Amino acid sequence: MSMRLPKQAGEWISRDKTVRFTFEGQEYSGYEGDTITSALWAAGVKVLGRSFKYHRARGVLSFANHDVNVMVTDGNDTNIRGDVVALGNGMQLDAVNTDGGVLKDKNKYIDSLSPLLPVGFYYKAFHKPARLFPFWEKIIRKAAGLGVVNFNYPRITKRKLNKHCDLLVIGAGPSGLSAALAAASEGLEVVLVDENQSLGGSLTYDYAGSESSRKILEELQAKVAETANIHVYTGAYAAGYYADHMVPVVTAKGITRVRAKAVIVATGVFEQPPVFHNNDLPGVMLGSAAQRLINRYAVKPFNKGVVVTANAHGYRVALDLLNAGAKVAALVDMRAEGQRDDLVGELVRKGVKIYPASCVYEAVATSDKLGVQGAVIFPFDEATGQANPGKSVNIDCDGIAMSAGWAPAAALLYQAGTGMGYSNDIQQFVPNCLPAGVFAAGRVNGVYCLQQRANDGMRAAAEVLRYLGKRPPEVTVDKHQGPSPSHPYPFVEHPKGKNFVDFDEDIQIKDFVNAAKEGFDNIELMKRFTTVGMGPSQGKHSNMNAIRILAKIRNLPVEKIGTTTARPFFHPTPFGHLGGRSFHSHRLTSIHAWHESAGAFFVDVGAWSRPAYYQQAGKSKQQLVQEEAQAVRQTAGIIDSGTLGKIEVCGPDAALFLERFYTGKFADQKVGTTRYALLLDEAGVVVDDGIASRLADELFYLTISTSNAAAVYREMQRWLQIWQLNVGLVNVTGAYGLINVAGPAARDIVGKLVSIDLSDAAFPMGAACETEVLGVPVRLVRVGFVAHLAYEIHMPSAHGLNFWLALMEAGAGYGIRPFGTDAQRLLRLELGHHLAGYDTDGLTNPYEIGAESALAMDKPFFIGQRSLKIIGKKKVAKLLVPFVLPQEYSGEMPQDCNLVIDGAAIKGRVTSVAYSPAAKRIIGLAYVDPARNQPGMVFDIRTDNGSIVKATVVETPFFNAD
Amino acid sequence: MTTPQTVMIRKTPVAYAQQALKPKMGELNGMEVALEFEGASVENARKQLLGVTDVSCFQRFSVKGPQAAAWLAAKGMNTPAAINSWDDAAPGTMILRLGGSEFLLEDQHSGDTCALLAKGFKQAEVAGVYKVQRADAAFILSGSEALDLLSELCMLDLRDSALGANAVVMTQVAGISATLLRQTLNGQQVYRIWCDGTYGPYMWDMLMEVAKELGGGAVGLSCHFKK
Amino acid sequence: MKLLECPMNGVRPLSEFLFGGEYREMPDPDGSDDYEWAGYVHYRDNAPGVKKEWWYHGPSGTWFIAERNTLTDEVLKTYLFGKDPSGKDQTGSKPNKNQTTGTEQSI
Amino acid sequence: MAYQLLKFALGREYKEPRFFRDCQTPKKSYDAVIIGGGGHGLAAAYYLAKDHGITNVAVLERGYIGGGNTGRNTTIVRSNYLTPDGVSFYDASVKLFEGLSTELDINLFYSNRGHFTLAHSESAMRTMRWRAEVNKHVGVKSRVVGTDEISRACPQLDISCSGKAPIQGALYHEPGSIARHDAVAWGYARGADSMGVEIFQNTEVQGIDVKDGRVQGVHTSRGYIATGKVLSAVAGFTPRVCKMVNLQTPIVIHPLQACVSEPMKPWLDTILVSGSLHVYVSQSSRGELVMGSSLDPYEVHSTRSTFDFVEGLTSHIVDMFPFLSNVKIVRQWAGMADITPDFAPIMGNTPVRGFYLDAGWGTWGFKATPISGKTMAYTMANDRPHELIHSFRMSRFEEYELTGEKGAASVGH
């Protein structure tokens, strides 16, 4: 039976655009503008989902983005919220969390088992005997969760934007709209956000029956539309409040991080369900939900209904129902005094019977338990909260609208650090101490009268202007008059329970009572034990009622109970939105394209991509790495080392600076030479090592290992500030390219390009100079890290490829071969050099790697020196030594990080191990017992498969260079 | 020794990222540069909507140190008085004051101011001035949607009301350090972005990825500078 | 994201900064015994309160001092090392035997 | 067993007793006072009573029990550490956990799911081997596995991580488990309470009385309590409590954040950790994905949430599981972690006689709950550190004998 109404004045649907869809296999149609729920309800479908725990039938509850029991899947996406997600043509929808469909859910039997499953039952069952728990756990895990995830769902990248404004107004109801307009008229740039598709907040449903309120709404909407400095985001929710007024605003398209100078929270209130037996049946809904159905979507909530209320709002709901052509069989007012204004007369004139001082004791379920067939009304003693069974009235109806009170939508205020106090005038938490730059207006601020809500918006805007240094006129807001909009205790006990407080988690009144009996009688423990508020709606309709129940149990005023902490997000927010377009930055040298075309296999080193080795068809990595290394030993190899950190230290105090920064001496270093530079931290731990080339009296050029470059430069900057030396630091890591040509033919190859004398006498190991190559100024350094004869050429990085090509050409006749980081690691190992960060870890001190010779302990100061004086008094715990395996060794190849074992004790580990084609045996570095560090001594390495290999300590280099 | 006599042409730092687009390349200041991607009519329209242009080939010269400002002034350069601001150092050459005591000069399109300064700089002769070797990837971002693009890649408020006409900001763009300012080029307000050249391909890719979504794309150098 | 004011570059989102730890005056290495030195390296009063901290603005390479309440995460002020505008700052005020003048302060 | 459920159905009155008494007025003195009613403090109280017969004990909790990091962590239990001492210690914890539901008679949902630490680079693979070798040496089941085995355990995982950080392999740790964190605290509280320990919630310690280098008592919001032994088990608040006895430590407080998705039908059966992507994720018995990341990058003594955390985390999760794009995050939260320079705890006696420290837990506190309780109870009862915690002694810092956990710690949850 169609529940669609004739055109309603402010309706959000487009009747000329029909939308066809299916739900649980049945075909339906709705209109563009419908949500899934409104279209189904219009089509007369009332069972929209099943509850999480007991699998009870559920329909509309809030119709405000917390109908968590109405989640559907379209086969592609899951956990789609029917109450707010727009209907799309061709959607094929099914309810989640059912076994066999929403009507015939095979799990509905769990409802009748509910007495077996009291609060916290799972803590008390299934664990004995322990061996059976995995069996029970499988069953429990099968029952867990809501929707089924589609593993083929595509990756979606949403944009994440940044927006700056003077004022962010969250909520475009009467107070938010008034606030935005007032602030904008004073010239502020305003962002106005509302989660609905249309501005107006409660004006789009609550006062919708009234001509005058519609006029107010239209005027406000028109004014906002013509105000250029109000930027409106509809269909957008403020997901959370973060430090310094940053509020991510979420729409279907993505997230905008709004950074405001001030924020007005005008988020309104959530209607709270009164609690009675079967208050969850499809057809029982909040009054505001009924109004939304009628006034936004032109859908009749039910044909003949009962309104249960404890405030004026319920009377307006009844009027809206009557206007929509529904019969109102009774209006049940829980208050002893009932309502005392014109609304009463109006309803009575329209034939509605009013039951003051009464309650709905239970909703009577239809025989199939899928809907309402009546309501049982009992007199209600407001003072004691007791229903009196004496004079009950049974009323036939197919729906119940509930309006007993509200809870502030104050999550953002809490997150901002707002102090909230409980107002007995309105039985609601209201802000009483707002953080700087954060303001509240409207019902979330405890202001209920429509005119005063607009005033309150203007008042908040005036406070914002004052906060921003302007002088606006004072705006006053009248204090709340008349009866409270919320009932202090709208709960009706029932021997059969099923009076739901939390619809997400199926939590009933007795669950709270029992939790308290077991000692979980403060709000946080109660939340954890009962799981109230932990479902997807995050307590929007349950937290306040939980607090009221606990206050009653403990016989304390509500404010003594306090609230649980409100965490982001306001509404659940998709991974894809939050992740957005992730920035995966990376650095490439100017030779990258060449490496790629030469078959390089790249590895990430910090932000850089570096060739690990160059692939060739039919050859293994192992083979290629050996070949690349052999080329260096036999003729020449070439490697792109442009990723190394490069720092210039210049100025009169340059040498002094380095003497303090590094462990060695630099003051007496001759121009044109290089020195080893070892950096420690203040605890004496090895941080990095590199090479310092003195290019002029006042110019040192440092190379730093790739992954430490940025950190070392930062530390140089920091210490320079502390020491106040006359030094300039220039980080030229990206500005210079670096190519290393190594091997016996290196001199001949490099000599083809450079004009200076490269002979050992003129340019020995450790020499460095500035010269010109190919007409370009370069820095040339003779190094010995991977081979005894090797040259580093440092050139402006845009010339890197040219130099690479020129060197390849120059070396062609010698069989020059590019090599990657894998071969480099092997080559330096063959020479016995350790790699900082590879052969050391975050706690290694220089004594453990045998670096005493690099420590100028006689200097007045260097970073880490004082700690070394302490460490130096202690016995070294482990020592890095070079080792070899017997040439004939044919067992399992030891790997890096295999342990050095002595009986039952771990003595150390292998840090580098490889087969050396030059030494023709397996060589490596390992930490060993310091007592076993002498050449010729033997220690045990345990390989992956557990076998013990005898390794022998040797001296380096591992092979005879001649 | 066999030094080639011809001057070697450098590749732009973003060449790697551009190669798939197969732009028409030319040479400026000794560097290869993409002159045109899809033809003048497409790129002229794109320039108005959202265009990304590689101008890494512009000549640059940079110094830092306590005496840097004085040294530049002595060389006849106009230096900005305020920190983090830019100005014209000389006709056709802009100068960015990066923080307090570092200066970046850039010849717009062509010119030899930077080359002359570089030639005239001898480290040993000037105290308190240190040459800063640079290898920037540099971009022009033009068009009505440029701010929209930047609002995704940069967290700063870059509206005209917040970003002064002569302001220089050192910030993060697409998660990496970059220098950014706005400038008027042939009557059009454009944004200029510099980052370390080794991040150039990444930056180009990110700018293009977002630009394409917004209907924009690559614009060749010729579209902004008719030779 | 939290905002922080770099003394050279103004207010920026926290993602542009690196935390450099608490600023602590180094004791005279020659004048302190092993225990005192180990205490300087390892021990600190890390109860919440206003602390002087090192922060680094990455895009410009600027180290500076922030006085921050570590309980509320509120930044009271920021300034370059040794340049507390109130003049109360003791950082770097100790005479340094090797200190020279004409240094470059902001790099 | 399930017959327990019938008991609930048949009884007319709800007869479940209180978990623990509602203590309001402390006695004048106790044999020991434990500051901090989290898992660690309650476990220490439990083992003091059970193992050492010391039952005249007060546990003082500023808020409510289990409300600190016990209730904020992502509930992972494992022992695949790097140092032999670390592995042995946590292995002892895992073994206690395995029998804990039975011992405390509460279902902790201790769920053995297996734990993969993903390696996205060769250097990460080296560290995995290092950990595996040490674990094997100590008898803990950890081994280096290839991508095929990871895919078998979690076929939904994109091994290439959307091409951004291809997975090379992993350290597989068979005993890796998750548990219901709150229940651990409640179980220990009930156990301790039943043996006579008094638990005071909403009770703040305002000062500690020390005379001649010895603890004399504590000043609380419920009055002065005399005692000769005080244990501080207050992760996140350690520096504040240490200040009361003028003790400086290397501990710095950094927030650690986590978040949870909406419930979905369980599909992720294992625990996944990625150091390079700063992600750890498992799926709870409620069907929620429970996720965390690395520590916040700077010191803050508060539990505020940041948006950057959840942005970074989700982008990495989507790299691993692209199909989660439209699945939603429900809630994020934070705890405060004690961080030490070597990523190992500080446990044992202190220079202040009678003041014992159970601190410096970084991000690993939950998994150590039983063993920390047991070893600290031993340490307090005997006034000398239990042998399992020797390398976690505070004096290691001034002795420059830091533990080696730092070597492998990128993300270590």
Confidence of residue D6 (pLDDT cuts 50, 70, 90): low
Share of chain A above pLDDT 90, in %: 90
pLDDT tens figures, A690-717: 999 999 999 999 999 999 999 999 999 9
Q: Which of B74, A713, B129 shows the shortest CA–CA distance to C102?
A: B129
Q: What is the CATH topology of the domain spanning D111-177+252-339?
A: D-Amino Acid Oxidase; Chain A, domain 2 (3.30.9)
Is B touching D (3+ C-beta pairs, cut-off 8 A)?
no
Q: Read off the CATH number of the domain in which A420 is found.
A: 3.50.50.60
CA distance A842 to chain D (A): 5
Is residue D412 over pLDDT 50?
A: no
Contacts with D307 from chain C: Cβ below 8 Å = 1
Q: List the alpha helices (DSSP H) in A188-286.
A: 211-226
Query: Which sequence spans correspond to the domains of chain D?
Result: 22-73+182-250+342-408, 111-177+252-339
Contact status, residue D277 vs residue D165, Cβ threshold 8 Å: yes
b/e code B103-120 from CB counts within 10 Å (16+ = b): bbbbbbbebebbeebbee
CA A285 – CA D352 distance, rounded (Å): 63
- Residues A857 and A801 both lie in one domain: no
CB A930 within 8 A of CB A849: no
DSSP per-residue letters across D308-350 = HHHHHHHHHHHHH-GGGGG-EEEEEEEEEEEE-TTSS-EEEE-
- Do A632 and A753 have their domain in common? yes
A243 and C1: CB-CB below 8 Å? yes
Query: Residue D275: CA atoms inside 13 Å, Cβ hemisphere, count?
Result: 21
Q: What is the 3-state secondary structure (H, E, C) of chain B?
A: CCCCCCCCCECCCCHHHHHHHCCEEEEECCEEEEEECCCHHHHHHHHHHCEEEECCCCCEEEEECCCHHHHHHHCCCCCCCCCCEEEEEECCEEEEEECCCEEEEEECCCCCHHHHHHHHCCHHHCCCCEECCCCEEEEEEECCCHHHHHHHHCCCCCCCCCCCCCECEEEEECCEEEEEEEEEECCEEEEEEEEEHHHHHHHHHHHHHHHHHCCCEECCHHHHCCC
Q: What is the rounded average pLDDT for all residues in chain A? A: 95
What per-residue confidence (pLDDT) applies to C88? Answer: 60
Q: Tell me the CATH architecture of domain C3-79.
A: 2-Layer Sandwich (3.30)
How many beta carbons lie within 10 A of that of residue B121, not counting itself? 16
Q: Which CATH architecture group holds D22-73+182-250+342-408?
A: 3-Layer(bba) Sandwich (3.50)
Say whether D111-177+252-339 and D22-73+182-250+342-408 share the same fold: no
All residues of chain D having their beta carbon less than 8 Å from the beta carbon of residue C32 are: none
Q: Is A535 left (phi over 0), alpha (psi -120 to 50) or beta?
A: beta
Touching chains, C (3+ CB pairs < 8 A): A, B, D
CATH class given for the domain over B16-221? alpha beta
pLDDT band at A565 (very low <50, low <70, confident <90, very high): confident
Mean pLDDT value of segment A830-838: 93
Whether the predicted pLDDT of D98 surpasses 70: yes
A920: left (phi over 0), alpha (psi -120 to 50) or beta: left
Residue B3 pLDDT grade (very low, low, confident, very high; cuts 50, 70, 90): very low
Q: Is the pLDDT of residue B100 over 70?
A: yes
SS (H, E, C) C43-102: CECCCCCEEEEEEEECCCCEEEEEEEECCCCEEEEEECCCCCCCCCCCCCCCCCCCCCCC
Choose among D19, D20, D326: nearest Cβ to A153. Answer: D326
Interface list for A 759-798 with B (CB within 8 A):
773-776, 796-798
Question: What b/e string do you get for B66-98 counting C-beta neighbours within 10 Å, with b at 16 or more?
Answer: bbbbebbeebebebbeeebbbbebbeebbbbbb
Shortest CA gap C78–chain A (Å):
15
Structure tokens at A255: 């997230």
Strand partners, C68: C51, C75
How close does chain C come to A214, measured CA to CA in Å?
Answer: 40
* Residues of chain C positioned with their CB less than 8 A from the CB of B98: 60
Phi, psi of A612 (to 5 degrees): -80, -40
For the residues D116-142, what does the mean pLDDT come to? 95
SS3 of residue A506 by DSSP? coil
* Record: contact D298-C35, CB cut-off 8 A: no
Given a cut of 90, is residue A743 above it in pLDDT? yes
Verify whether the Cβ–Cβ distance D406 to A118 is below 8 Å.
Answer: no
Residue A16 vs residues A7, A13, A89: alpha-carbon distances, Å: 12, 9, 14
Please indicate, yes or no, whether residues A457 and A498 belong to a single structural domain of this protein: no
- A243 at interface of C, judged by CB pairs closer than 8 A: yes
Whether C99 has a pLDDT exceeding 60, the answer reads no
CB contact under 8 A, B152 and A650: no
- Parse chain C into domains and list their residue ranges: 3-79
For residue A232, tell me if it sits in a domain.
yes
d(CA D388, CA D390): 6
Q: Which residues of A touch D325 (CB under 8 A)?
A: 153-156, 574-576, 579
- C11 secondary structure, DSSP code: E
CB contact under 8 A, A164 and B159: yes
Cβ distance of B179 and C58 shorter than 8 Å? no
Note the pLDDT of residue B126: 84
pLDDT at A121: 85
Contact (CB, 8 A) for A665 and A692? no
- Which residues on chain D are in Cβ contact (under 8 Å) with C54? none
Give the sign of the dihedral formed by CA A205, CA A207, CA A211, CA A216. negative
Q: What is the pLDDT of residues D245-302, one digit of tens each?
A: 999 999 999 999 999 999 999 999 999 999 889 899 999 989 999 999 989 999 999 9
Burial of A365 (0-12, 13-18, 19+ CB in 10 A): buried
Its domain, for residue A915, covers: 875-962
Q: Answer yes or no: do A741 and A834 share one domain.
A: yes
Of A162, A698, A801, the CB nearest to B155: A162
Q: Which helix (H) or strand (E) holds A927?
A: strand A921-928
Q: Which residue of A has its CA nearest to B122?
A: A696
CA distance to A921, A924, A952, D119, per residue, from A885 (Å): 7, 9, 6, 29
A758 or B8: which leads in pLDDT: A758
Asked if residue A834 and residue A701 are part of one domain, the reply reads no
At residue C94, the pLDDT reads 45
Main-chain phi, psi angles of C12, to 5 degrees? -140, 155
CB spacing of D299 vs C46 below 8 angstroms? yes
* A568 min Cα distance to partner chain B (Å): 21
- Going across the sheet that includes D230-232, the strands are D198-200, D57-60, D32-35, D230-232, D355-359, D346-349
A2 part of a folded domain = no
Are A141 and D285 within 8 A, CB to CB?
yes
| Of residues D113, D117, D120, D130, the one with CA closest to residue D171 | D117
Indicate the pTM of the whole model: 0.95
Grade residue B81 by pLDDT with cuts at 50, 70 and 90.
very high
Give the tens place of pLDDT for each residue, D239-255. Answer: 999 999 999 999 999 99
CB D122 within 8 A of CB D128: no
* C44 touching chain D per CB within 8 A: yes
Which of A65, A149, A256, A892 to mutate against chain D (most D CBs within 10 Å)?
A149
For residue range A488-538, list pLDDT tens digits in order.
999 999 999 999 999 999 999 999 999 999 999 999 999 999 999 999 999
Cβ proximity of A780 and A768 under 8 Å = yes
Q: Do chains C and D touch (3 or more CB pairs under 8 A)?
A: yes
| CA distance linking residue A913 with residue A927, whole number of Å | 12
pLDDT at A142: 84
Contact D54/D160 with Cβ under 8 angstroms?
no
pLDDT value for A116: 80
- DSSP assignment of D380-397 equals HHHTS--GGGGGG-GGGT
Interface check for C3 against chain D (CB to CB < 8 A): the answer is no
Q: pLDDT by residue (tens digit) across A436-468?
A: 999 999 999 999 999 999 999 999 999 999 999
User: CA torsion D160→D166→D171→D174, rounded to 10°?
Assistant: -10
pLDDT surpasses 90 at A648: yes
In a domain, A475, yes or no: no
A797 and B128 within 8 Å at the Cβ level: the answer is: no
Cβ–Cβ below 8 Å for A243 and C2: yes
Burial of A147 (0-12, 13-18, 19+ CB in 10 A): buried
- A687/A570 same-domain check: no
pLDDT for residue C84: 86
The verdict on C77 touching B (C-beta cutoff 8 Å) is no
pLDDT of res. A905:
94
> Does residue C60 belong to the interface with chain B, where contact is any CB pair within 8 Å?
yes
